[in-house]
């Protein structure tokens, strides 16, 4: 079945450094979604990308969807302690697919 791989599993950064997490799918995706889960919290939807090569920004967060629609990345510029949490990507494999497949997430720690 469809697999979504996410790397790295863990990332420790100094506050102010940049951070990137990468997501790769074994199949072409119709869309990719990103979620953030704060420690002790639940996943919260951040954004969805649909078009090949799409780039979207939310303040210091930049999301990209690959040209082949099989990979995606989330880049955070100048991390802050409020960025701490686990970032998940998730994708639908195509039309008629009911199932959103989640990556295992990247856990971000920010050292003040």
**What is the binding site for another protein (CB under 8 A)?**
1, 30-31, 33, 35, 41-48, 50, 88, 92, 97-100, 102-105
Measured from the CB of residue 7, what is the shortest distance to another protein in angstroms? Answer: 13
Nearer to another protein, 17 or 47 (CB): 47
* 31: helix, strand or coil: strand
Closest by CA position to 80, among listed 11, 15, 10, 18: 15
Cα–Cα dist 42/17, whole Å: 25
Measured from the CB of residue 17, what is the shortest distance to another protein in angstroms? Answer: 25
Measured from the CB of residue 102, what is the shortest distance to another protein in angstroms? Answer: 4
Nearer to another protein, 19 or 92 (CB): 92
Nearer to another protein, 84 or 100 (CB): 100
Nearer to another protein, 80 or 99 (CB): 99
Q: Which one-letter DSSP state was computed for residue 103? A: P
Give me the DSSP letters along 63-102.
Answer: EEE-TTSSEEEEEESS--GGG-EEEEEEEE-STT--PEEE
């Amino acid at each position: 079945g469809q697999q979504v791989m996410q790397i790295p599993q863990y990332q420790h950064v100094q506050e102010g450094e940049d951070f990137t997490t990468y997501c790769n799918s074994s199949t072409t995706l119709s869309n990719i979604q990103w979620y953030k889960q704060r420690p002790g919290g639940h996943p919260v939807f951040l954004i969805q990308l649909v078009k090949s090569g799409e780039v979207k920004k939310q303040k210091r967060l930049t999301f990209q969807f690959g040209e082949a629609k099989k990979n995606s990345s989330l880049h955070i510029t100048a991390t802050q302690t409020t960025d701490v949490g686990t970032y998940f990507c998730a994708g639908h494999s195509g039309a008629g697919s009911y199932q959103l497949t989640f990556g295992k997430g990247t856990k971000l720690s920010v050292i003040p």
